[in-house]
Amino acid sequence: MKNKNPPHTAHAPLIIDVEGPVLTKADRRRLKHPLVGGVVHFGRHWQNRDQLLSLNAEIKAIRPDILICVDHEGGRVQRFKTDGFTHLPPMRALGQLFGQDKVSGDGSGALRAMQAANACGYVLGAELRACGVDLSFAPVLDLDWGASGVIGDRAFSRDPRVVSVLAQNLMHGLLQAGMAHCGKHFPGHGFIRTDSHHAVATDTRSLKAILADDASPYRWLGNQLTAVMPAHVIFPKVDARPTGFSARWLQDTLREQLGFGGAIISDDLSMTAARELDGKPLSYAESVMAATLAGCDLALVCNQSLNGGLVLDEMLEALDGARAKGGWQLDEAADARRRALLPQTEPLSWDVLVRDPRYIRALELLP
């Protein structure tokens, strides 16, 4: 029998997107590139469940080891909302349920919130897996300081202890559905108003202050998280570089000090806050190399398959050139961490899922 697996590559660090709900010839060509290790979906890739399942099956037929991802948290960040997908609440709703104990004093709110968080994780993971998605970039571990519009109700709470408890339960629900998880945005994006999608974001607090507060969930959950996504935020009292380009943050702090051993996935390198480094503009290839050299195992490049995908093609060509010249080293350990995010069990089909007692019970527990 002919081996359908692609040739072994030391590292496939790129997560890219495809053009639309059906693969194009150019999409198929890019998916075969040995540096591509993942695909990320958006709303434009969705028409209905059958179409999404077919799209993902075709992607897997090209690259069985590819990691199919999506930003699907609940609330306003939920890519698929029709054809049976459950409308999940924003995470703040779980934090508010937890906070009801301040009124009742009997602990029932905290227990209901933990049950609801677990149910959210299970429903989220099981529904995505039934449609062929491997990983959602969730949960958000940012603290709700009340200042950040881009985070806002995506955060569980201002209290890092509540964030950690609820995130842990949501992560467990995801694992029960056979899906890994990705905590974001390390070490925290909730304190500042700036949206790093559109501008350079800076947080002037000290390392001590951040580790004592915003980064606490990563310290408490570090041995349970399977992946972490760093923020495109500059903390000038720690490093002049954004977190996703900073070895000080990713290797010295996250890996060494906090003991995290899972995969590090960059936030979207198309965002404005990731388009320059040390005061100089970055090409997409340069941003990928800077992120991986700093310690990211995977580099996320979103929405660049559109308009013919010229950016992606130029990026792949430049990365091939840098690799051939020895200016960019690839890491087998990083690819092992990528592969560890792939589901290890078969998903339930949608028809089986909707009759499954655990799924039905989880729906009943949602707030």
Residues with a known catalytic role: 197, 267
Query: Closest Cα partner for 173 from 207, 215, 138?
Result: 138
Residue 145 token pair = 């300081």
What is 252-271 written as a DSSP string? IIIIIIT---SEEBPPPTTS
42 secondary structure, DSSP code: -
- Cβ count within 10 A of residue 240: 14
Give one DSSP letter per residue of 75-144, joined into a string: TTEES--STT---PPPHHHHHHHHTTHHHH-SSHHHHHHHHHHHHHHHHHHHHHHHTT--EE---B----
Those residues with Cβ within 8 angstroms of residue 317's Cβ, 6 or more apart along the chain or in another chain = none
Per the DSSP assignment, residues forming a β-bridge with 234 are 202, 242
Which token pair is 39?
Answer: 């695909």
Partner residues linked to 72 by β-bridges? 78
Give me the residue label for tokens 């990983």: 135
Instruction: Give long-range contacts, CB 8 A cutoff, 24+ apart: 303-306.
Output: 303/17, 303/42, 303/268, 303/270, 304/16, 304/17, 304/270, 305/16, 305/17, 305/18, 305/19, 305/26, 305/27, 305/30, 306/19
Integer CA distances (angstroms), 285 to 54, 198, 201, 281, in order: 31, 20, 22, 12
Rounded-to-integer distance, Cα 359 and Cα 224, Å = 23
What are the φ and ψ backbone dihedral angles of 16, each rounded to 5 degrees?
A: -120, 175
Max Cα–Cα distance, the chain, nearest Å: 65
